[in-house]
């Protein structure tokens, strides 16, 4: 079975299991880079695609620096539905960080998804995908962003290059410099050899 069909098969399992709108992985199954976010937000659910809202703007910056097209990479999220809570003041539904159970529930799918795509580099964007992929809750993105790590997934060694989550860059301007430097290093270290 080719990669597209394997991903379709995996997605079918997820869609049968969850009775809500899922935002599944998107992009090229032949990509050498897999980007992993946290969970979709409102805009992602509306459009059915990861990273199309505010965080998507920073994703475009990512793609510009690396000089790659969005269609040529594969982008997915740790949790495939939008975790929400009610804002007590406004009564509106707002995003929340996925909890431990949700992350654990989706981890097996994420690892299967990664092993089907079989990229050269996995880029977790922020703490949730980073801790999930590295399977260590004590490591933080603040300490490990821009560092090259290795992790076995389904008996294969993958290079992990964690970056800050694009939304963190939006809300915390002071990390923007680090983020841009990490991206330029990523370009220097890897893109040439891919
Ligand atoms: N943030 C994420 O982590 N994923 C998305 O798809 C959008 C925003």
Provide the CA 87 distance to its chain's centre, in angstroms: 26
**Rama region for 51: left / alpha / beta (φ>0; ψ in -120 to 50; rest):** left
Residue 138 alpha carbon to ligand 1 centre in Å: 22
Residue 52's SS3 state is coil
pTM, two decimals, is 0.95
Q: Is the CB of 124 under 6 A from ligand 1?
A: no
pLDDT of res. 4: 96
Mean pLDDT score, 39-44? 96
Look at residue 65 in the predicted model and tell me its pLDDT. Answer: 87
Confidence at residue 102, expressed as pLDDT on a 0 to 100 scale? 97
User: How close is the Cα of 77 to the center of ligand 1, in Å?
Assistant: 7
pLDDT tens across 155-188, in order?
999 999 999 988 888 778 789 999 999 999 999 8
Residue 32 vs residues 113, 123, 136: alpha-carbon distances, Å: 14, 11, 24
Name the residue range of residue 19's domain.
3-193
Q: Tens of pLDDT along 60-100?
A: 888 888 888 999 999 999 999 999 999 999 999 999 999 99
Instruction: Determine the pLDDT at residue 79.
Output: 98
Average pLDDT over residues 31-43: 96
Q: What is the mean predicted confidence (pLDDT) over 18-27?
A: 95
Q: How many domains does the chain have?
A: 1
Side-chain-side CA neighbours of 14 within 13 Å: the count stands at 24
Q: Is 40 in the pocket of ligand 1 (CB under 6 A)?
A: yes
Is 88 buried (19+), middle (13-18) or exposed (0-12) by CB count in 10 A? Answer: exposed
Q: What is the pLDDT of residue 21?
A: 93
What CATH number is given to the structural domain containing 93? Answer: 3.40.470.10
Contacts of 143 (CB under 8 A, 6+ apart): none
Top mutation candidate among 38, 49, 83 for ligand 1, by most atoms within 8 Å of CB: 38
Q: What is the mean pLDDT of the chain?
A: 93
In tens, the pLDDT along 140-158 reads 999 999 999 999 999 999 9
pLDDT at 193: 63
Sheet with 26-27, side-by-side order of all strands: 26-27, 74-77, 33-37, 121-124, 156-160, 149-153
Ligand 1 pocket mutation pick from 22, 34, 44, 78 by most atoms within 8 angstroms of CB: 44
């Amino acid at each position: 079975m080719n990669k597209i069909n394997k991903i379709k098969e995996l997605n079918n399992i997820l869609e049968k299991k969850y009775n809500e709108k899922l935002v599944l992985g998107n992009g090229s199954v032949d990509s050498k880079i897999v980007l992993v976010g946290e969970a979709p937000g409102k805009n992602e659910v509306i459009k059915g695609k990861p990273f199309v809202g505010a965080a998507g703007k920073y994703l475009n910056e990512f793609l510009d620096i690396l000089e790659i097209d969005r269609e040529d990479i594969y982008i997915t999220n740790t949790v495939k539905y939008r975790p929400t809570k009610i804002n007590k003041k406004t009564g509106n539904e707002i995003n929340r960080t996925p909890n431990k159970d949700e992350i654990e529930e989706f981890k097996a799918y994420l690892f299967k998804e990664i092993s089907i795509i079989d990229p050269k580099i996995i880029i977790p964007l922020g703490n949730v995908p980073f801790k999930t992929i590295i399977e260590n809750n004590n490591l933080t993105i603040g300490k490990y962003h821009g560092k090259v790590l290795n992790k076995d997934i389904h008996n294969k060694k993958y290079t992990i290059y964690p970056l800050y989550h694009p939304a963190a860059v939006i809300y915390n301007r002071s990390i923007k410099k680090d983020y841009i430097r990490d991206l330029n290093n990523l370009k220097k270290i890897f893109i040439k050899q891919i």
